[in-house]
Amino acid sequence: MGQKVGIEVSIAAADAVGLCDVDVVAAYPITPQTHVVEHLAELCASGHLDAEFVPVESEHSAMSVCCGSAAVGARTFTATSAQGLALMSEIVFIASSMRLPMVMFLANRALSAPLSIWNDHSDTMMVRDCGWIQVFCKNGQEVYDAIFHAFRVAEDKRVSMPVMINVDGFGLTHVIEPIEFWTKEMVKEYLPPFEPLYTLHPDKVVTMGAFGMPEIFTEAKKALDVAMWNSAPVVVEAWDEMAKLTGRQYMPVETYKADGAETLILAMGSICETASIAVDRFREAGKKVGLVNLRLWRPLPKDELRKALSGAKDVVVLDRALTPGGANSPLTAEIRSLMYGETARPNIYNMVAGLGGRDVTPEDITTMLEKALADQHKGYYIYGVRG
């Protein structure tokens, strides 16, 4: 195994990208993503990483460069956040529809206005349906490991799709955690050389991203949908292979003290570690409460989620994004839709919290759970509103 180091999560993630021996990094700085690409620029400038670092003039250009580099068969990485993703989003949809394997580190941050540099999940929910494989991480080790996993999955010829790694801004990106580093030998064993399915080359001309008439557009989108669902077994397979190498087993849906739980808390990202403290306190008080951590957001692990939730009486979903004017916030909408019509369907409550980086403590989670069960809101409840 590699050495365990106390290090900022963003710097560790950049080191992982360097160990993957990427060919192209194209990015534009935006808080709280900047430390990732700054460190990659340092690695390139110092000669520790033999890659093209492209300091573009905008996030839109960053993703455009990534599409070009992936299309010619280069191992490609980028990172962004919030308004940067909003500017990039036009090309984000193109990358997946053209089946271009690349990896993006998304430092989750609230969308303006008002201007906020702090964490919630509104940016990633904006591109929920962009056709990228999407994973959420709850701690620094997961973030570090996710870099290797993302390249392994994206570049697998059975997949050939872009992968987005969701990392809570500041709450994860800027904290120092003990992270077990991989050795070069481990990376070489886990991540094979990139051999793309199709490449742009003058000796063998192909067309990418051509005009799609109405007669073929639906079929193209159907093909993307099928490819997304077909990627799920490969995602799991790559996690299983990682477990053999590192001893850390990741799964699409992870549960904590959920056996026999009457009430489950469901969440994504670093808030799951906070929620686990609340669960411990509930259990110590004799209350049957457990936690469901949804790690794989796209493709949604439907069977695993149904299995995890079907035994509970109540499920309290902690959403870190709001759908103004909608019936539910994004994560809850998916869960309610998934469980609709199930024989053992639990009551599902929607609590929105932590918008714009507002702190969510174990005490807050306890209060939210108790309020949800007492009031039984059928829509959504925004927790902690003052005034």
Express each pLDDT in 19-67 by its tens digit: 999 999 999 999 999 999 999 999 999 999 999 999 999 999 999 999 9
Cα–Cα distance measured from residue 350 to residue 328, given in angstroms and rounded to the nearest whole number: 7
Half-sphere exposure of 132 (CA within 13 A, CB side): 29
The predicted pLDDT at position 198 comes to 86
CA angle 380, 381, 384 (to 5 degrees): 155
First vs last C-alpha separation in the chain: 53
Of the candidates 51, 58, 50, which has an alpha carbon nearest to the alpha carbon of residue 27? 58
The predicted pLDDT at position 168 comes to 98
Cα–Cα distance measured from residue 38 to residue 219, given in angstroms and rounded to the nearest whole number: 41
The predicted pLDDT at position 175 comes to 98
Cα–Cα distance measured from residue 385 to residue 387, given in angstroms and rounded to the nearest whole number: 7
**Separation in Å, CA 352 to CA 83, 281, 330:** 21, 22, 10
Contact (CB, 8 A) for 174 and 10: yes
Give the residues of the chain that fall short of pLDDT 50: none
The predicted pLDDT at position 206 comes to 86
The predicted pLDDT at position 321 comes to 98
Cα–Cα distance measured from residue 131 to residue 330, given in angstroms and rounded to the nearest whole number: 16
Q: Which bin fits 170, alpha (ψ -120 to 50), beta or left (φ > 0)?
A: left
Using DSSP's 3-state secondary structure scheme, residue 131 falls into: coil
The predicted pLDDT at position 1 comes to 66
- pTM assigned to the model: 0.97
Cα–Cα distance measured from residue 365 to residue 220, given in angstroms and rounded to the nearest whole number: 43
Tokens representing 229 are: 């669902």
Contact (CB, 8 A) for 381 and 375: yes
Peptide bond into 233 cis (omega under 30): no
The predicted pLDDT at position 204 comes to 87
Cα–Cα distance measured from residue 276 to residue 365, given in angstroms and rounded to the nearest whole number: 10
